[in-house]
Structure 1
């Protein structure tokens, strides 16, 4: 048979009773059940009367630029110019159009524009158009590079002074693969802009 604790002397059954043998039981001090007890060796416990530590200065991290149509368009144009130069360098060095490079052009343009510009439905379309322009411009740069090697002139001067001749050379040498690479770049840009915006 178990023995129950005797009722409190003041008649309050909810008053806190001392628990014999339990070192973790909270005992009221001076009749106040909410008074803070000594830490009992805990160096991290808050002591009564102790000052709170000063607050740590907090600087919120800058929110990334997102869902900004104008910035997304600017980033897309910049990426188109950069990738056109890289693609043109690849075409000029190898004297071949490389499909993976056109995919890379489209991917980088669409990803950058979609990541910054967000979910605006204009961005995938603009990214595809920018990719068409970048692949075309890259092909012109490539033509300028290998024609300049044969002619012994600078590719930059050929590109700036004989641009009409370069476009005419492009149209004469364009074949179905040329247009396929343009389409691949545009499709990749459209797709990657939509995926990056999620």
Structure 2
């Protein structure tokens, strides 16, 4: 390592060289300096999944009650809203994790399915004069069979809407 000594009196001082890796004088970009650093990945994907499941169960119950009240008349925008509700919560909590929108889409699909099953459970409870819990937990096979037979071609679009709502909302709201 070399040491530099001050020049003898009467001799001009040498300009100091910039350190290795430092920008040369005058090499700074336009006013405003360097661009800000890229934002770090934020959010908690595990908590987002738990919150998404909780929201899925709540929204599916509400959707099932709406389906029962409308005698099973499906509403296309409702399927989109199911996924969007799940995606909004997951996107805000999960941040920029790339798995969060995919899981939100899957939960949107499950929510649409579960809402339909719950509507059948509410109806079966009324028809057979049994509690909702008995209809749901003891006769799930009948509920699934009845719901499956009630599906129409348009329901494929509703599944797609539920998944798309979850995926796109989670992706857009990722913080």
Structure number with higher helix proportion: 2
- 1:128 and 2:87 equivalent? no
Q: Which TM-score applies when normalising by structure 2?
A: 0.72
- Give how far 1:148 is off: 2.4
Cα RMSD over matched residues? 1.2
Distance across 1 between alignment mates of 2:157 and 2:134 = 29
1:180 corresponds to:
157
Does the 8 A contact of 1:92 with 1:144 survive in 2? no
Structure 1, unpaired ranges of 5+:
1-65
2:58 corresponds to:
82
- Aligned positions, number: 133
1:3 corresponds to:
none
Distance across 1 between alignment mates of 2:55 and 2:76 = 18
In the TM superposition, what whole-angstrom CA distance separates every residue of 1:169-196 from its partner, at most 9, and x where no partner exists? 1111111122221111110110000001
Q: Which TM-score applies when normalising by structure 1?
A: 0.64
2:125 corresponds to:
148
2:38 corresponds to:
none
Higher RCO (C-alpha 8 Å, min separation 6): 2
Pick the structure with greater CA Rg.
Answer: 1
Moved over 3 A (4+): none
1:166 to 135, 139, 143: 143
1:1-20 residue pairs with structure 2 within 5 A?
Answer: none
Structure 2, unpaired ranges of 5+:
1-41
- 1:93 and 2:69 equivalent? yes
